Amino acid sequence: MSKIKIAVIGVGVMGSQHSRDIVDLDNTELVGVCDTDPTRADDFASRYDVPAFSDYTKLLEQPDIDAIVIATPHYDHPQIAMAAFKRGIHVLVEKPIAVHIQAAHELLNAYEAALTQYPKLIFAAVFQQRTYGFWKKIKALIDEGELGKLMRTTWIITDWFRTQSYYDNGGWRATWEGEGGGVLLNQCPHNLDLFQWFVGMPKRVVGFAAIGKYHKIEVEDEVTAYLEYENGMIGHLVTSTAESPGTNRLEIVGEKGKLIFENGNLTFYRNRISTFEQIENATSGFEKVENWKIDVPHQHHGQSGHRLVIENFANAILTGEALIAPAVEGINGLTLGNAIMLSSFLGQPVALPMDGAAYAAKLQALKASSQFKKNVVIRDVDDVGSSF
């Protein structure tokens, strides 16, 4: 089998896992690593017997690179990807694709432009949760119309628990300058991506974001959002990195029933008739719709989602296999996160499509006025098992 020659840029928590997967997979070969921390780059390079770089522009000049995986802090994702596009190098970028949608638009425009010269250029994002059986089943049930017209989607995801020690490790984390956001930008991109994957994009967003409420950080660690959709559906998103025990419960309600995912169980309360018919036609004032409780089967592949995404990325280049997560779709979840934050800062609803420049300017102002002094404590690179 031919192998795609891949270099990894940023070999911290995530990039180190990606490097191991690339070495291990049948359709990929690791051909270089790059990290601005030269010791880290050298360590990886010697472990896998590949060249090390501390400057990604030098790495991209190498003649034998088909593709890169970008696993640096988020702010650098667009510029590294755009430099690769100019050389016709395929890109798999970590989530989020950018910190704000203004940068994401620039990135997607650059990809669009590069496609004219390199029509087969692949640009994918690491949204590995799209491979999980329960999320795929939920998407299929919605797409097949099992729920009918959607009325409400509510996702409480407060099980992203993080300690102060987590935030103190890695100078870039949880600062406006280094990361550009908190729970919405670091932990929630998967949820925001899945939210839009399931039910599309809202037309209006209201957000309430608490800044450093439970941790010594200058970004958000607790968020509540209300979303309104063109088709009348409403949505809620509640998230936190401070609750323990936390909750991860998704409810999607349609006229034909209610789907609940919690603790690994997918339950469908299937209505015998449409709720709307009952509201319209019932002769008694309180009679609810008869429903049947169904435990919906779903299968998990039992593999690492990250690894599957890399394998799929290489297959997309080799055989044209459809991507699990085209990076162009990454702007949707990012828009949700940016809109929630902008709404919270402005104290008013934000209509979509939102003003990306306004949010970029707000971030810039937050960076410029930051007085936050971070107490950086470097720990060993954590196992990726606890990172998402």
Ligand X SMILES: NC(=O)c1ccc[n+]([C@@H]2O[C@H](COP(=O)([O-])OP(=O)(O)OC[C@H]3O[C@@H](n4cnc5c(N)ncnc54)[C@H](O)[C@@H]3O)[C@@H](O)[C@H]2O)c1
- The interface region with ligand X, picked from 7-15, 210-218, 239-247, 334-342 by CB under 6 A, is 7-15
Beta strands 350-351 and 291-295, pairing class: unpaired
φ and ψ at residue 92, rounded to 5 degrees:
-115, 115
13 forms part of the interface with ligand X (CB under 6 A)? yes
193 forms part of the interface with ligand X (CB under 6 A)? no
Pair of tokens at residue 87: 């050389």
Q: Which helix (H) or strand (E) holds 123?
A: strand 123-125
Residue 152 CA: distances (Å) to CA of 121, 146, 202, 241:
38, 14, 12, 24
51 forms part of the interface with ligand X (CB under 6 A)? no
What minimum distance in Å lies between the beta carbon of 188 and ligand X? Answer: 10
H helix intervals, the chain: 13-24, 38-48, 56-60, 77-86, 101-117, 133-143, 164-168, 189-199, 275-281, 305-319, 330-346, 356-369
- The interface region with ligand X, picked from 30-38, 105-113, 278-286, 333-341 by CB under 6 A, is 30-38
Residue 371 CA: distances (Å) to CA of 150, 176, 363, 365, 368:
45, 11, 14, 12, 9
Chosen residue from 19, 28, 72, 158 binding ligand X by CB under 6 A: 72
207 forms part of the interface with ligand X (CB under 6 A)? no
260 forms part of the interface with ligand X (CB under 6 A)? no
Would you say 106 or 228 has its CB closer to ligand X? 106
36 forms part of the interface with ligand X (CB under 6 A)? yes
342 forms part of the interface with ligand X (CB under 6 A)? no
What minimum distance in Å lies between the beta carbon of 387 and ligand X? Answer: 4
Nearest residue to ligand X, using CB? 12
Size of the site for ligand X (CB under 6 A): 26
Chosen residue from 14, 259, 308, 314 binding ligand X by CB under 6 A: 14
Would you say 358 or 381 has its CB closer to ligand X? 381
Integer distance in angstroms from the first to the last C-alpha of the chain?
30
Would you say 72 or 158 has its CB closer to ligand X? 72
What minimum distance in Å lies between the beta carbon of 367 and ligand X? Answer: 17
Say if CB 325 and CB 37 are below 8 A apart: no
Would you say 2 or 164 has its CB closer to ligand X? 164
CA dihedral 259, 338, 325, 3 (to 10 degrees): -150
- The interface region with ligand X, picked from 72-80, 99-107, 206-214, 269-277 by CB under 6 A, is 72-80
Q: Which of residues 349-388 bind ligand X (CB under 6 A)?
A: 387-388
Would you say 184 or 266 has its CB closer to ligand X? 184
- The interface region with ligand X, picked from 34-42, 156-164, 198-206, 326-334 by CB under 6 A, is 34-42
Question: If you write DSSP's letter for every residue of 183-198 in order, what string do you get?
Answer: TTTTTTHHHHHHHHHH
334 forms part of the interface with ligand X (CB under 6 A)? no
310 forms part of the interface with ligand X (CB under 6 A)? no
37 forms part of the interface with ligand X (CB under 6 A)? yes
Which residue, chain included where needed, has tokens 């790495």? 59
Which residue, chain included where needed, has tokens 């180190």? 16
Would you say 224 or 387 has its CB closer to ligand X? 387
d(C-alpha 350, C-alpha 346), whole Å: 9
d(C-alpha 30, C-alpha 23), whole Å: 6
Pair of tokens at residue 266: 């997918």
Chosen residue from 21, 35, 255, 329 binding ligand X by CB under 6 A: 35
320: left (phi over 0), alpha (psi -120 to 50) or beta: left
Say if CB 278 and CB 262 are below 8 A apart: no
Would you say 154 or 169 has its CB closer to ligand X? 169
Contacts with ligand X by CB under 6 A lie at 9-15, 34-37, 40, 56, 71-74, 76, 94-95, 126, 128, 170, 186, 387-388
